[in-house]
Structure 1
């Protein structure tokens, strides 16, 4: 893993992209004279429970961005104001708590923007709080519903669940074809949270549209203690591919159970979840090799600032920089760029800037394919999911070919 600090390199990137730090601002502030010397960006994430690792990774990605921006002199057009990341624990399984902690976070009127809350079931309530307060929310949650309700302050940096479903099938078909392997049927297995259910539905619809047989669809509750009933259904399906979503503890139980039955069918996750966490390979050891997952971001992408950020993340946290950390890292840079360009820390003006800005350079653009812009619904209109695969303990991008850094292994 890369381990060198990237302050000098990031400084160059920041100068080129006009992204700096941020400042503590009230909802009524609109210029550098109003913002003080610090701006707060909220980070409501699951920091306890089954999804705590993903929430912590997301928070750490924000902190890496803030540290680099602050070290480079802060937001230049806000008199060098610095970013302060304010975190709160949403829990992993209580959407009401996600709304409450976000509401409490916003009561002081000094939060310029929010990035959160990773898990879709949590973000669906977080967004209620941010909409009420008229504060922009950049989220890496997948559920389509976020951009279907007419919200004015939500910005979905990640692909929608429906896009993940279609891309999962398209990627598997392409990879199987190139490997000379038949792909006629799949079995869909996933947790019962909002995101996983939406992704499973999208995968099923896309599979049928592509002429594939869905041998079975298995839904399980988060927090499995016994995976054998699920494993039995997977084995009985005798499918050509297993599409498996869920958190790390649940996925690891299922994968260990399936492999213990002598089933070596390729496994692909339909986006996010436990398959992208740094602990996936250490938890599963050799069983992690070959497992694929669809991602909105990966640390080996050849995009602005990614190499430097992942090096800093590795040095700071002693692990590679996962998808959710990369998304939240880029989100902070987007907020910073808007504040710098518009010379404001006012949430309304930041939201306006996010709606109208095309991020085409610097770390703010470092989401596949290398540019970001939000449509009227708040969806990222350019997002391109990538298929990644665990190979010898590292997560490698294998699809699409133009972004791939390694060849796929389907044996």
Structure 2
């Protein structure tokens, strides 16, 4: 007779009974706990880009809170999204290393990145593992032109933004009687700013503007005095800046202090031009600044709610919050359409499906070779201590104030 045929002794019966009783007594919440899908969120929350990265993280956190509170991933039986956060420390090499760590922690996908240079290395690292990566903001055109099937961009590229910005600039100038003819371009010297400056140099003359000079600067920059002195000597009608938050604030404040007042500051993807922090801390330097940039749909009540929640969290509202809030919801929808956390199926869902765009003015988001073809920037202007949408007309909250008085 084998041990499996033997009759159980008294002690084994007691042990079996206690084990069964413990299973029955286990709290129902533990037995029925919903599964978890890990989502990697990568942002630069330390270093030169920390302000933007912190707001991006907040947007992702708010999205995950709301999604889980609404019942989680319903198509997956109410699975909860769990954030696995990575700080790229405003450094491209660290961005790649942190992406490797997120892969090791078993995330289903990644959302974030912010700066183009950080996104370039992070998406390349993610591609080695077929790890779906949704760029929130990084605008360099080449990010989605490298044949990386894992890489998608929620926002418009800088080619898309520049085209819209210049068309609207021409319309703005014509409506005001063409007061602006000459331009100085000021840009950061990285992947983002240099690429945008090259596009502007090619396109502005075609639209009747004379470029007096293109001025590059490093990120971070500690002093804009020489840049502003050069602008003063050239006396352009327009200054078109493209750089990150700290450099934009520094330039705008130096322009104010030196009493250099062009007819317009028309930012394209300006780092602070549509940031409520800049408006709050330096209202005089901010007043009248225009921007063509990422911005939520002002007609969507959720946009105002996100602003209130951002301020309640002790931060000043900027586009990073609604962009990442919306991108996380989109990725959650893609995971549901994929039927789970299988990375290749998520990539297939993103490549072939259409998705809600959250609070962004995109309608249904669709991706072609990784680029969201529905993405569109809005034009804003600081008016009366607030950021107002001035174009296109269907989203406008206010009329533009242009040209500015000297």
d(CA) in 2 for partners of 1:45 and 1:154?
Answer: 16
Matches within 5 A, 1:113-192: 113-139=109-135, 140-192=137-189
Q: Which moved more, 1:244-253 or 1:71-80?
A: 244-253
Preserved CA contact (<8 Å) 1:304 1:365: no
d(CA) in 2 for partners of 1:303 and 1:340?
Answer: 24
Matched position secondary structure for 1:402 = helix
Q: What is residue 342 of structure 1 aligned with on the other side?
A: 338
1:352 offset after TM fit, Å? 1.0
Q: What is residue 39 of structure 1 aligned with on the other side?
A: 37
1:269 offset after TM fit, Å? 1.5
Matched position secondary structure for 1:338 = helix
Q: Which moved more, 1:95-104 or 1:281-290?
A: 281-290
Instruction: Give the structure-2-normalised TM-score.
Output: 0.86
1:56 offset after TM fit, Å? 0.8
1:304 offset after TM fit, Å? 7.4
1:365 offset after TM fit, Å? 4.8
1:69 aligns with 2:61: no
Count, aligned residues: 369
Q: Out of 380, 403, 407, which is 2:395 matched to?
A: 403
Q: What is residue 49 of structure 1 aligned with on the other side?
A: 47
Q: What is residue 11 of structure 1 aligned with on the other side?
A: none
Matched position secondary structure for 1:344 = coil
1:390 aligns with 2:387: no
d(CA) in 1 for partners of 2:128 and 2:118?
Answer: 16
1:112 aligns with 2:108: yes
Q: What is residue 31 of structure 1 aligned with on the other side?
A: none
Q: What is residue 257 of structure 1 aligned with on the other side?
A: 254
1:283 offset after TM fit, Å? 3.1
1:36 offset after TM fit, Å? 5.9
Superposed CA deviations along residues 44-73 of structure 1, whole A, max 9, x for unmatched, are 111111210101111111111111111111
The answer for unaligned runs of 5 or more in structure 1 is 1-34
Provide closer, same or farther for how the CA distance between residues 308 and 342 of structure 1 changes in structure 2, counting only shifts above 3 A: farther
Higher relative contact order (CA 8 A, sep 6+): 1
The answer for unaligned runs of 5 or more in structure 2 is 1-32
Preserved CA contact (<8 Å) 1:173 1:183: no
d(CA) in 2 for partners of 1:378 and 1:317?
Answer: 34
d(CA) in 2 for partners of 1:45 and 1:286?
Answer: 30
Q: Out of 282, 286, 289, which is 1:284 matched to?
A: 282
d(CA) in 2 for partners of 1:75 and 1:205?
Answer: 46
Matches within 5 A, 1:201-216: 201-216=198-213
RMSD: 1.9
Instruction: Give the structure-1-normalised TM-score.
Output: 0.85
d(CA) in 2 for partners of 1:262 and 1:317?
Answer: 32
Q: Out of 293, 296, 301, which is 1:295 matched to?
A: 293
Matched position secondary structure for 1:268 = strand
d(CA) in 2 for partners of 1:70 and 1:295?
Answer: 30
1:271 aligns with 2:264: no
Matched position secondary structure for 2:228 = helix
d(CA) in 2 for partners of 1:171 and 1:241?
Answer: 14
Larger Cα Rg: Structure 1 or Structure 2? 2
Matches within 5 A, 1:81-92: 81-92=79-90
